[in-house]
Amino acid sequence: NCHHVCPTGCLPYDGTVIDATRCLTYLNEHEGEWPDWLDPSAHNALVGCMRCQEMCPADRFYLRLPKVVAEFDREETQWILRDLPAENLPPGVLAKLQALDLDDYSTVLGRNLRALIVAEQLRGASHARPRGGPHADR
């Protein structure tokens, strides 16, 4: 069920109204600091969140269709990490963001990318731990 995979708990177990302010998609699309309650390992997409969609039978077909629309080199990534308004980005970077329909999010993409990197590091560290927890070798 989708509520089991939701990293923020915005999908209620009883099927009532979603708490959109707790949805990672909402948080990814708005400027500002991450809320204190948000687990740093919850991040899983540059904008939005794919966890409930990956679980949804109606969306699974579409998620299997990989499509590379744009790739960013190191220099372009450095521009994105600056969280600049779209009009302050080099034309090539802006064109790629527009192709991805992400130009409206240019002021949060760097923050989100940094959060994704931290989340991946946290997930990697948790997979590296021995089974049985951090004190299993004692």
What are the two backbone dihedrals, phi and then psi, of residue 100, each rounded to the nearest 5 degrees? -95, 0
Where do the domains of the chain lie? 2-128
Give the residue-averaged pLDDT of 113-118. Answer: 95
Average of per-residue pLDDT values in the chain? 86
With bands split at pLDDT 50, 70 and 90, how would you rate the model's confidence at 128?
Answer: low
Residue 118: what pLDDT? 94
With bands split at pLDDT 50, 70 and 90, how would you rate the model's confidence at 130?
Answer: very low
Give the highest mean pLDDT range of 1-15, 48-62, 104-118: 104-118
Q: What is the pTM of this model?
A: 0.78
- Rounded to whole angstroms, the Cα distance separating 48 from 85 reads 19
Q: What is the DSSP string of 76-101?
A: HHHHHTTT--GGGS-HHHHHHHHHTT
Residue 17: what pLDDT? 87
Residue 134: what pLDDT? 41
Distances from the Cα of 43 to the Cα of 33, 58, 108, angstroms: 14, 23, 14
